[in-house]
Structure 1
């Protein structure tokens, strides 16, 4: 049984899960049910003789990892394979149910049922083949985990596809870098917006409610930012940037520059990769990105 932190998460969970399923147990010292299920998991790991690896994450000490996985209660167990979450459960299940859970994903042999076939991906996957694109992006991260651009593109792909949990798992190894790597900071802001909107199932209704409050007070920046986050979570990038500009036009430094930083995060997210075309030239900037960069500069410098 291994105690995992942000520092060794990539090696002990992501890399290890490429060949052996990893069961991640989120716990805390004060949690009574955690003290019940912990010994059971260790007993089962021994009995299963290498069919899976057990690791533990102290949710209090490793809050960044807990947030990345969206942990809301403990104990919570997440089964990882091939760098991705396969399934999970919450609460101190009895030994029999834990074994049933594991047996569902650990048939005789070394691979999970989820991996029935492998995908062969060329160096240049077809633009209309999302499975091949994802595999190519994933392989790029596996080959060079320190390639920040590759990881950004992979996480962005997952989040655009609505696979928030997978995106958070892929982001977990670089959480600590978000404070000083702008692209990772941008992803963190996007995931914060997704989490903010998670409890608002009716995004259209939520937006209408925001509009009613804003109509009463144009300088209600908290509500404007909440609306921008909701639009950002729904991938309505232009709508979110328009709302952030409304804040910036009235107060450029509101909330420690929060509106500007979030605006820049959206530009980072929607900007296409800078790839060269056949003649070796970099194609012109995306018109939406170019337009909104100009609008931001105009507001900031006015």
Structure 2
């Protein structure tokens, strides 16, 4: 459902006599530093916001764990090219930059907000069909123009900007990818198990293995159905843990951890230990430094001790 218009857009107009900050050296006239698509973190968020004084910025909050996020980012990346510099697309990986999601008051992914003259404009949460998304973008550009934000990115300059170099795929990643492409989740997990045995302190390998385990559990499953089953009276441990997986697949980290913590609390003995180990896997997938994980660790300690 669109949230467009939930904020008073009239307050976003630049102040009388104000002048937008000058672009950085090498930036195109009437544009902002950077290309059509940029990745945002805590370090460059302010720069992106300042650039929205010239051209509106569409910010998509996404997570690779949620297929809806991946699909929406792909669609927006295609549309930003078609709109030929009328707006800039800013991608925020909420797993890598949770502080940006917090700053923009985003609690679920995917979520799309716009920046006009540095001010956030909520657009929508969840998926959106292409026709509806085009209509929202057209409305956004109209609103931006009424507020004096009607610049355009220089496509030639954007095209010639140096793209960040993608890290070369490792042999472990290649073998795991090929196994996943065959649909052989067990083989993919074994690739990482072998790599972990060689490098037991490598947390990235452990995170990749645990993510593969979760993807295997979710393969062919309907997250909505899993959540409904987990909420049904008398749901067993496996069903409750599947609900935690489903919540994470939908990008709701807090719901995922809450469900897994409840599974630990509600069981004893061997079942409690199974739930605890699954929760630790979820910690690794989400990221051990994430604030949600830190809170959940404290709650787990309270439950256990």
TM-score by length of 2: 0.35
TM-score by length of 1: 0.36
Q: Which has the higher helix share?
A: 1
Report which structure shows greater RCO (CA 8 Å, sep ≥6): 2
